[in-house]
Structure 1
Amino acid sequence: MSLSSSSLNQFVIQHTLKAMGICSKAIENLLLGTAAAQENLMLQSEISTGIGVYGISKETHCRLWDDYLALDPDLASEVRGLASQHEFLKHPHIELATNLAYATAIAWMVYKRGGVILPHPDDVEGLALCWAEHFVKKSDANDEKQPLIDTFVNSYRKMGRNDPSLAA
């Protein structure tokens, strides 16, 4: 069983961004594309180190908290507020798989920490470049971004996002 892209957007991404005081079609489309592209990469790879719909590694999760969120208590509190009250303290990485709102917030933090400059929401190639530059592990990039950009664009289009304005 899978979650449709429209359900992921409407019930998870939009809801999470709204809870964080954010209203941005570009961020919605970037996060939808991220989920689709990460799933595609995980299917292509024999070993997956990422967790959840966004394929975030434990190392990335820890670095976000230790090197970014810990330096901004208000933002950390906002993100922590999306996590489960008790489970987060016992098994924080499991939240990436079991709590879609929390995983979405963490995925956005990956981009925000990197100082992402968002393209127009309809610029799928621009969104793909953001993903390749900020979300993909440097060791996976191998100095060649075009195959990654193609992965994002193809994944995005396969989920029925040929018209990015459909992210409503």
Structure 2
Amino acid sequence: MGLCPNDLRHLVIRPTLQYLEQYSLSAETLLLGTAAVESGLGYELNQQQGKGLGVYHINPRTHQLLWDNYLATKPDLASKVRGLASQHEFLKDPHTELTTNLRYATAIAWLIYARKDATLPEASDLPAMAKYWRKHFHSRPQGPLEDYISRYNAIHNPPALSAFAY
């Protein structure tokens, strides 16, 4: 079972973006869609083939490159992000934070996008969000736009739950 989309949006994504002082409705919507398409909102935390980890299926190499090539040049931002990580576990295995720490993983996922310094689409423009995700987050191999759109729509129109038979 994955995460509740409203809880992920309101309790993890929004506060994380606000903490980073980078909140926008478009960024929030993009991250929710990313979690929906990459892991089914946490239904699959470990992507076997692509070696992606956590709710956003972030590859350890991408994680390392983000720290080495982007956060290394932004010490104040790096300090904020590091503040989200576990004190001891991060030092032992920083990639584990992508699976076990939702706020840290959300910050890293957002910075994968933010480092591109590209204009975000409007939050209501789902096809443009899908293209943005594919271009800046899931470009190799190219993520199918239809997957992003259908998974995002599915979290906003979930199937009705049937009554349990006892």
TM range (shorter): 0.7 to 0.9
Q: 2:101 aligns with which of 96, 99, 102?
A: 99
Relative to structure 1, the CA distance from residue 46 to residue 90 in structure 2 (aligned partners, 3 Å threshold; closer, same or farther) is closer
SS in 2 for 1:50: coil
On the 8 A contact 2:113/2:136 being kept in 1, the answer is: yes
- The amino acid across from 1:16 in the alignment is T
Q: Distance in 2 between matches of 1:23 and 1:72?
A: 18
Q: Which runs of 4+ in 1 moved over 3 A?
A: none
Q: Distance in 1 between matches of 2:144 and 2:97?
A: 27
Q: Distance in 1 between matches of 2:107 and 2:157?
A: 22
Deviation at 1:46, TM superposition (A): 6.2
Task: Tell me, yes or no, if structure 1 residue 20 matches structure 2 residue 20.
Answer: yes
Higher helix share: 1
On the 8 A contact 1:96/1:103 being kept in 2, the answer is: yes
TM, length-normalised to structure 2: 0.86
What runs of 5+ residues in structure 1 fail to find an aligned partner? 142-146, 163-168
Deviation at 1:149, TM superposition (A): 1.2
Q: Distance in 2 between matches of 1:111 and 1:18?
A: 16
Structure 2 counterpart of 1:144: none
Q: Distance in 2 between matches of 1:117 and 1:161?
A: 28
Deviation at 1:108, TM superposition (A): 0.4
Q: Distance in 1 between matches of 2:11 and 2:119?
A: 25
Task: Tell me, yes or no, if structure 1 residue 118 matches structure 2 residue 114.
Answer: no
TM, length-normalised to structure 1: 0.85
Deviation at 1:116, TM superposition (A): 2.7
Structure 1 counterpart of 2:86: 84
On the 8 A contact 1:116/1:130 being kept in 2, the answer is: no
Identity %: 45
Instruction: Please list the CA deviations of residues 35-68 of structure 1 after superposition, one character each: whole Å capped at 9, or x if unmatched.
Output: 011125x97x762410000000000000000111
Aligned length: 154
On the 8 A contact 2:39/2:54 being kept in 1, the answer is: no
Query: Which runs of structure 2 are paired with 1:1-168 in the superposition (5 Å)?
Result: 1-39=1-39, 47-138=49-140, 140-141=141-142, 148-160=144-156
Q: Distance in 2 between matches of 1:61 and 1:103?
A: 10
Q: Distance in 2 between matches of 1:160 and 1:36?
A: 10
What runs of 5+ residues in structure 2 fail to find an aligned partner? 159-166
Q: Distance in 2 between matches of 1:125 and 1:116?
A: 16
Q: Distance in 2 between matches of 1:66 and 1:50?
A: 18
